[in-house]
Structure 1
Amino acid sequence: MGQITHGLRAALSNPRVYSAFQNLLGAEAFRKEFIQNHIRPYSGMKILDIGCGPADVLNHMDGVEYWGFDTSEAYIAHAKTTFGPKGNFFCKELRTSDFEDKPSFDVVLAMGLIHHLDDDTARSLIAMACKALRPGGRLLTFDPCFEVGQSPLAHYLIRRDRGQNVRTKQGYEALIRPSFSIYEIAVRHRRWVPYTHCFIEATRAP
């Protein structure tokens, strides 16, 4: 996985430090908006969260059936302690065999994950997500993005992200196309702590 985990960035491996730092940058409001406008949860919705981190998304969702995967023991331990029976948490890299005995998912999440992956790994993960979805189910992703004319501060911050595979909108779209024929992609600029994200909603064909 292409990310920097040494120096000051090593502190972000601590789930409490990670969540606190993210919230300082406005992640809580961002997360609520993403859940409301993109996930649109309902009771019984089956959600697979790849690279779930400490699963902070569950702070704002009730009644869903949630499976979270992450390779960080610290993040998964924190998620289990914090959310307990609200979710199913696994400390491992997701494989196709991990969801063969599970129901097809309504939503697969890859939030802030793809920019940590090289192209081949990202395409494989997206193909796996497509297989995990029911027909009509959706893959939802967002990642930092380089964009012509973006704020110089946003560009500076994104350059220093732990993930080493930040792409343009066209770069992310090229990863989605082999697995999904139905998708929407949008770039949005955040003003509070300037930042640029690329959002993708890809739907498995009926």
Structure 2
Amino acid sequence: MAQKVTGFRAIFSSALIYNLAQRMVGAEKARHILVQDYFPAQNRYRMLDIGCGTAEILRHLPTAIDYHGFDASEAYIQQAVRLFGNRGTFRAELVREATLDELGSFDLVLAFGLLHHLGDDEAGMLFQLASHALAPGGKLLTIDPTYVAGQNSMAKWIISKDRGQCIRSPEHYSSLASQQFARVNTMIRHDMLRIPYSHCILECQNSDPQTL
């Protein structure tokens, strides 16, 4: 992964500090908007969360969904289990095709704040895995910081201090997704946090959407 974990950024290896920092900048607002505006409207669906962190997204999801969260951080997964152990399945490992074959297909795959930690080759592998994991009509959602023309100067500065070292333009994110997905809808939002910030959201599908 392409990220800086030294200096002040090292403290975010702690699940508690990571969650506190997320709440301070308004990550709960971002999760609420993402679920409200882009997730399936129905209460029952299968979801794969790649790079789930401490699985805080579950606070905004219906209890009936079949949730599977993966993260490389053992500390984050332990915290997810403590908070949401009865709400889903949590695994401290990277997602692989063999694992996906065991789990079956998903209606929704989420990669929240993950792509900007991955180089282009790694990002391409993520899109390939997500495509492999999706049921017909399912979709992949990604959300990451981005640099865009005319963005708030404070937002640009804050984004530049992120641990992730592969922050891309919306066009770059979209071009990577298009190598695996026939339909890629790219959205830019500046309203998802309490602080000035710019997000790029990708909505990726290989077939016409189905009603969940």
| Length-normalised TM-score, structure 2 | 0.94
Equivalence map 1:100-179=2 (5 Å): 100-179=101-180
SS at 2:103's partner residue? coil
CA distance in 2, matches of 1:39, 1:32: 10
Which structure's relative contact order is higher, taking Cα pairs within 8 Å and 6+ residues apart? Answer: 2
Distance between the aligned counterparts of 2:41 and 2:9, measured in 1? 32
String of CA shifts for 1:20-66, please: whole Å, max 9, x gaps: 11111011111111111111353331000000000000111121100
Runs of 4+ in 1 over 2 A off after TM superposition: 40-44
Q: Using the TM superposition, name which of 18-27 and 38-47 deviates more.
A: 38-47
Find the aligned partners of 2:98 and 2:204 in 1 and give their Cα distance: 22
The corresponding residue for 1:194 is 196
Amino acid across the alignment from 2:27: A
Alignment of 1:1-206 (within 5 A): 1-40=1-40, 42-61=42-61, 62-190=63-191, 192-205=194-207
Backbone CA RMSD of aligned residues = 1.2
Bigger strand share: 1
Structure 2 portions without partners, runs of 5+: none
Deviation sequence 1:54-102 (CA, Å, 0-9, x none)? 0000111121100000010000000011101211000111110111022
Using structure 1 for the length normalisation, give the TM-score: 0.97
Sequence identity percentage: 40
How many Å separate the matches in 2 of 1:196 and 1:46? Answer: 29
Structure 1 residue 111: deviation in Å?
Answer: 0.5
Contact 1:41 1:64 in 2 (8 A): no
